[in-house]
Amino acid sequence: MSFDTVEHNRRRQNFEGVSSVWLFGYGSLIYKVDFPYLEKRPATITGWERRFWQGSHDHRGTPESPGRVVTLIESPRASCMGMAYRVPPDVFEHLDVREKNGYLRFATPMTFADGTVEEGLVYIATTDNAAFLGPAPAADIALQIARSAGPSGPNRDYLLNLAAALRALGDQDPHVFEIEKHLG
């Protein structure tokens, strides 16, 4: 049911001799910052869309009743706004565990408001992980979110906190806001 990616992620990038790394957050990493960082800046990545298509068996749901959390889906003409954090590499010891339910670290270019571009890491739950739920009508996703809760709290809090954080960033994410509207 879950796909524990901790050890796989720890083998993906070598941080030897690196003092800081950019990390791009597009979901709970925008509003639940439980890790130290050196700098944070709003950023955008291109070619990706945020979608509530990943199951959460460990944070916002249970194995019997998984919640839904966001992942990124490739979409050539899309862009996804989020928050970039410059972090010391040891932060990934914590984040790899936090994002263990199917998320893998990938490198991506991030564009800041001033037009500068930096390479950063992003956690993406790909379609081939065991916790991937895939698309569903917005009303069905909202109903699943309304009914789910896990060790990190009600799934609805995740959705509402994300929607509020996106509004604070000035992002107009139609997928997130449509599900929020159906949540009632």
In angstroms, the CA 71 to CA 48 distance is 10
Contact 76, 31 (CB under 8 A): no
Query: 56-85 burial string, b = 16+ CB within 10 Å, else e?
Result: bbbbbbbeeebbbbbbbbeeeeeebbbbbb
Contact 89, 35 (CB under 8 A): no
Q: Which of 7, 39, 99, 178 is catalytic?
A: 99
Residues in the chain: 184
| 99 counts as catalytic | yes
Residues serving a catalytic function are 99
